[in-house]
């Protein structure tokens, strides 16, 4: 009886740990073009020194594999988009949102302020909003399993 209780307790904590990690903004996310509805790439969002970062780990658009940042200036000019850091130093706020000053779009070679949060109705959807002055655009990214 005690052995079963211990096994059930362990199972409960394992399931709880899996559920908590599934509700994190960190991990791999498939970007969806909000204009075409087509997948564009996979972004890995990770934490470093308590801040949020994200980099392109895979291009999904057909014919765009190996694309470089032709519109970029400086050190990013003609660098591969795959492997490029596009989210830099986001800070977590009390409301659970992550905010920062650098969300980089290599296709347009533009940098935006950003706000990122999990969809409260579906933790497998990430809301990514980029701001340029008072204009903003929000995309929904989808969690990639594994």
For position 51, what pLDDT does the model report? Answer: 98
Please state whether beta strands 51-59 and 98-105 pair in parallel, antiparallel, or not at all (unpaired): unpaired
CA atoms of 139 and 33, how far apart (whole Å): 7
pLDDT averaged over consecutive 10-residue blocks of the chain (146 residues)? Answer: 48 41 86 88 97 97 92 94 97 95 95 97 97 93 89
Contact status, residue 30 vs residue 42, Cβ threshold 8 Å = yes
For position 145, what pLDDT does the model report? Answer: 83
List residues bridging with 113 in a β-sheet: 131
CA atoms of 85 and 35, how far apart (whole Å): 23
Domains of the chain (ranges, CATH numbers)? 26-143 (2.40.128.520)
For position 18, what pLDDT does the model report? Answer: 41
Distant-in-sequence, close-in-space partners of 97: CB < 8 Å, separation ≥ 6: 115, 116, 117
CB atoms within 10 A of CB 17: 10
For position 6, what pLDDT does the model report? Answer: 44
For position 33, what pLDDT does the model report? Answer: 86
């Amino acid at each position: 009886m005690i052995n079963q209780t211990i096994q059930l307790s362990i199972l409960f904590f394992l399931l709880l740990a899996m559920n908590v990690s599934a509700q994190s903004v960190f991990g791999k996310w498939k970007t969806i073009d909000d204009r075409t509805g087509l997948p564009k790439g996979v972004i890995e969002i990770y934490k470093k020194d308590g801040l949020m970062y994200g980099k392109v780990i895979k291009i999904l658009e057909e014919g765009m594999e190996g694309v470089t940042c032709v519109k970029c200036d400086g050190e990013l000019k003609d660098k591969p988009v795959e492997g490029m850091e596009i989210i830099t130093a986001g800070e977590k706020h009390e409301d659970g949102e992550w905010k920062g000053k650098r969300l980089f779009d290599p296709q347009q070679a533009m940098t935006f302020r950003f706000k990122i949060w999990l969809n409260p109705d579906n933790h497998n959807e990430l809301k990514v909003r980029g701001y340029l002055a008072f204009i903003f655009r929000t995309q929904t990214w989808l969690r990639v399993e594994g």
